[in-house]
């Protein structure tokens, strides 16, 4: 199981940044899983492409969450946003045994993508079992916000593919793709100078768009790679492949 998988954490991004990412995926017919934090016209437009886009949930279980004051409330709110969701990545990767049990018991979620193993080769899904129910956990391999924190960020796809075999799940954010973010300093400046980024206009963000190597540059490489190979999959496809013995389930 050596697929490159594209995932997107929406993180309350402005609609025009979501559309910016979606339009490029649509034009290249590249599939992706989007982890949804809220509802908006742009997210409603994503639902018009069920053959390309899987929508999962991105619940914020932290204190002060706008999703709710309790895990029950947060989970209910997010599943109301995406009733068909079968995958989850928790905001800030918040997780616990009790929370995973609750997700299994109170939702249709079958797959969790909240384990981050940066640059790790030979990644494969892991079955997490509770009361004979299975939550398939698929670790992800790369994230734009993490890359920006590295001493020497690498924005070349070939270097990331060269670490070895195994699943390579990439996590992008629409805002960072739009800005071509390459370091955290620009983003922190933007947050300070443009309060309420989720409602920001293109005119407010365009002065902070970076050129050269960065998140957007790598994003373009990933979708070009997937389009050229004629195979792009969503998280649910990995789940189906793993659970269906007829698809050659991995040992």
pLDDT band of 69, cuts 50, 70, 90? very high
Q: What is the CATH number of the domain that holds 130?
A: 3.20.20.370
Q: What span, in angstroms and rounded, lies between the C-alpha atoms of 239 and 113?
A: 11
Residue 18 burial by CB count (10 A; 0-12/13-18/19+): exposed, middle or buried? buried
pLDDT at 132: 84
Is pLDDT above 70 for 10? yes
Q: What span, in angstroms and rounded, lies between the C-alpha atoms of 108 and 250?
A: 24
pLDDT band of 172, cuts 50, 70, 90? very high
Q: What span, in angstroms and rounded, lies between the C-alpha atoms of 75 and 193?
A: 32
User: Rounded to the nearest 5 degrees, what angle is found at the Cα of 36, between the Cα atoms of 33 and 42?
Assistant: 90
- b/e per residue 72-87 (b: at least 16 CB within 10 A): eebbebbbebbeebbb
pLDDT: which is higher, 231 or 250: 231
Name the pTM for this structure: 0.95
**69 backbone dihedrals φ, ψ, rounded to 5°:** -95, -10
Is pLDDT above 90 for 42? yes
Q: What span, in angstroms and rounded, lies between the C-alpha atoms of 62 and 22?
A: 28
189: containing domain? 4-247
pLDDT at 245: 62
Instruction: For helices 71-81 and 97-106, give the axis angle rounded to 10 degrees.
Output: 50
Domain count across the chain: 1
SS3 content of the chain, % helix, strand, coil (to 5): 45, 15, 40
């Amino acid at each position: 199981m050596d697929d490159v998988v594209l995932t997107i954490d929406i993180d309350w991004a402005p609609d025009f940044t979501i559309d910016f990412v979606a339009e490029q995926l649509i034009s290249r017919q590249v599939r992706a899983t989007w982890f949804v934090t809220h509802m908006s016209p742009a997210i409603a437009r994503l639902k018009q492409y069920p053959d390309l886009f899987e929508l999962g949930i991105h619940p914020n279980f932290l204190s002060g969450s706008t999703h709710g004051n309790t895990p029950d409330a947060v989970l209910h709110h997010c599943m109301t946003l995406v009733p068909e969701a079968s995958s989850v990545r928790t905001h800030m990767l918040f997780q616990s045994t009790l929370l995973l049990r609750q997700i299994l018991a109170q939702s249709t979620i079958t797959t969790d993508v909240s384990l981050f193993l940066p640059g790790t080769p030979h990644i494969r899904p892991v079955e997490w079992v509770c009361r004979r129910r299975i939550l398939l956990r698929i670790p992800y391999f790369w994230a734009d916000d993490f890359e920006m924190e590295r001493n020497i960020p690498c924005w070349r796809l070939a270097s990331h593919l060269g670490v070895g075999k195994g699943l390579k799940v990439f996590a992008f954010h629409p805002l960072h793709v739009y800005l071509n973010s390459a370091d955290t300093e620009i983003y922190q400046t933007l947050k300070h100078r443009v309060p309420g980024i989720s409602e920001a206009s293109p005119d407010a963000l365009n002065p902070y768009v970076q050129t050269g190597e960065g998140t957007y540059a790598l994003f373009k490489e990933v979708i070009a790679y997937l389009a050229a190979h004629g195979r792009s999959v969503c998280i649910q496809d990995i789940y189906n492949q793993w659970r269906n013995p007829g698809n050659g389930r991995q040992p």
